[in-house]
Amino acid sequence: MLASASPRRLELLARIGIAPDRVLATDIDETPLKAELPRLLAARLSAAKAEVAGARAPEALVLAADTVVGVGRRILGKPVDADEARRFLALLSGRRHHVYTSVALRSPDGKLRTRLVDTILAFQRLTEAQIEDYVAGEEWRGKAGGYAIQGRAEVFVRFLSGSHSNVVGLPLFETAQLLRGVGWLSP
């Protein structure tokens, strides 16, 4: 079971031949705790999603994930509107940032296994016109940090260290390793 409503996660799983038998969107509070760091938020949310889905279907092997964009200690969530998307893109312009995805796998025995993946990216310096054009295209909607690397924002990336699929929303190497670890995928 996939504990996520993200179509991108389903697409990524399909790339490695996985089609979850069930998809369950968990409705949890994703508000960061006071002074919570981006990486810790991603880890806490993925574990919470796996536990909530596991409680609803205790017999299932549950895969959950959460992706958080961080600039220093600052968390860039999903923009609530176009103005916030503009602010996020202006903040990311010309600087490095981190994309953290935590993957949690809960087995029917209740054991939780997790992996946290950190990908470092740097955007080129963006002009106001580039930001306005990107925001007008509305690709930022529902995307952590206000951009989609699998879309038009890929041309902004001048540096990437780590997993590209992590930035899309699910690090495939680590996800496959977790599944192999419980015997779900052949080694």
Catalytic machinery residues: 66
Please report the DSSP string for 100-164 in residue order: EEEEEEE-TTS-EEEEEEEEEEEEPPPPHHHHHHHHHTTTTTT-GGG--TTTGGGGGEEEEES-H
The structure tokens listed for 2 are 């996939």
Rounded to the nearest 10 degrees, how much is the dihedral formed by the CA atoms of 13, 135, 158, 155?
70
Residue 143, number of CB atoms within 10 A of its CB: 24
Q: CA-to-CA distance for 176 and 165, rounded, in angstroms?
A: 12
Amino acid at 92: L
